[in-house]
């Protein structure tokens, strides 16, 4: 019984970390190709025609809808959760992801890894978790069975965000009334133009009223996340390359539980993303484990 309760505590810790990471990725944007072709963010970009700041941001935001897969690294802080850093690869269609995250002060001795493969989520890859599960280092959650009998459900684990295109939220910067060009900067060898603006949640609510139903619903979910964090105004930065693709994105805000300050740098996009499930011998089914805890 002690072992089961301890494992539940460990799994809840990992789930919390996942939710934090997915919350962060769901609030950032990147660019895609207008024709959906494979693309990479490596190398110098072709110089784009000069545009007014608002037009440049709007063009990059429009391209975001074409993103189907991407790899990126992230670092920063989230109110109430503290500092974190990580790397991820994600495919929007079909849904798949692989994330490695380290959260400061969360009691782990290394990064937590999350994989989403064929409607199953795996959390683990951490030696500390293996100590609590008889040497097995991965927890598996069958997404179709999540939430049964009062156990952890997919939304609590943040899986609802996994199939979402996080690039769509980059359109929020286009809702700023004070977009300005900061200057030209090179990010990972890519020449970019840096833009900045400030938006409030009220500004964003007014903006999304004119959007189509599906896009409006996705953006409303993002606004609810910001409200939960206690952030009502954000300074947003976007580094756009010469092909109107976002290379880097930053968002900053203040809340009672601490600062929001996340920096996302995209490595590539619209490249194949292959995620494999951990070996079955190293995996414990989380849904079955939770049932045992509740019955105990």
- Over the stretch 35-90, which tens digit does the pLDDT of each residue have? 333 444 454 544 445 689 999 998 998 887 778 888 988 899 988 878 888 898 98
C-alpha dihedral (22, 23, 28, 34), degrees to nearest 10: 50
Greater pLDDT, 165 or 255: 255
Q: Average pLDDT over the chain, rounded to whole?
A: 74
Fold of 2-295: outer membrane lipoprotein receptor (LolB), chain A (2.50.20)
pLDDT in tens, 20-45: 444 444 433 333 333 333 444 454 54
Distance (Å, whole) CA 70 – CA 67: 7
Residue 139 has pLDDT above 60, yes or no: yes
Q: Where are the domains of the chain?
A: 2-295
SS3 92: coil
pLDDT in tens, 231-253: 999 999 999 999 999 899 898 99
* Angle made by CA atoms 167, 169, 172, in degrees to the nearest 5: 135
Residues 100, 50: contact at Cβ < 8 Å? no
Residues 6+ apart with CB under 8 A from 262: 24, 27, 28, 74, 75, 76, 77, 78, 250, 251
The pLDDT of 217-230, averaged and rounded, is 82
Greater pLDDT, 2 or 179: 179
Of the candidates 135, 73, 139, 130, which has an alpha carbon nearest to the alpha carbon of residue 102?
73
């Amino acid at each position: 019984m002690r072992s089961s309760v301890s494992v539940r505590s460990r799994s809840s810790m990992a789930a919390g970390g996942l939710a934090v990471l997915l919350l962060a990725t769901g609030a950032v944007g990147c660019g895609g190709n207008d024709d959906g072709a494979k693309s990479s963010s490596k190398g110098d970009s072709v110089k784009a025609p000069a545009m007014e700041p608002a037009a440049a941001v709007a063009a990059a935001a429009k391209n975001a809808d074409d993103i189907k897969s991407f790899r990126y690294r992230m670092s920063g802080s989230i109110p109430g959760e503290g500092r974190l850093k990580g790397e991820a690869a994600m495919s929007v269609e079909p849904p798949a992801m692989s994330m490695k995250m380290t959260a400061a002060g969360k009691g782990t001795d290394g990064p937590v890894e999350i994989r989403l493969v064929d409607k199953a989520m795996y959390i683990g890859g951490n030696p500390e978790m293996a100590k609590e599960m008889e040497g097995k280092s991965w927890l598996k959650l069958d997404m179709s069975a999540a939430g049964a009998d009062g156990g952890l459900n997919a939304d609590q684990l943040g899986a609802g965000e996994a199939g979402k295109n996080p690039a769509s939220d980059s359109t929020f910067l286009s809702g700023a009334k004070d977009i300005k060009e900061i200057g030209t900067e090179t990010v990972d060898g890519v020449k970019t133009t840096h833009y900045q603006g400030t938006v409030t949640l009220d500004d964003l609510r007014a903006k999304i009223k004119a959007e189509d139903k599906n896009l409006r619903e996705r953006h409303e979910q993002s606004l609810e996340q910001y409200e939960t964090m206690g952030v009502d105004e954000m300074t947003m930065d976007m580094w756009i390359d010469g092909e109107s693709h976002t290379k880097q994105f930053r968002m900053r805000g203040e809340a009672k539980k601490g600062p929001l300050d996340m920096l996302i740098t995209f490595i590539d996009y619209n490249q194949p993303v292959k995620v494999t499930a951990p070996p079955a011998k190293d995996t414990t089914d989380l849904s079955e484990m939770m049932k045992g805890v509740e019955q105990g």
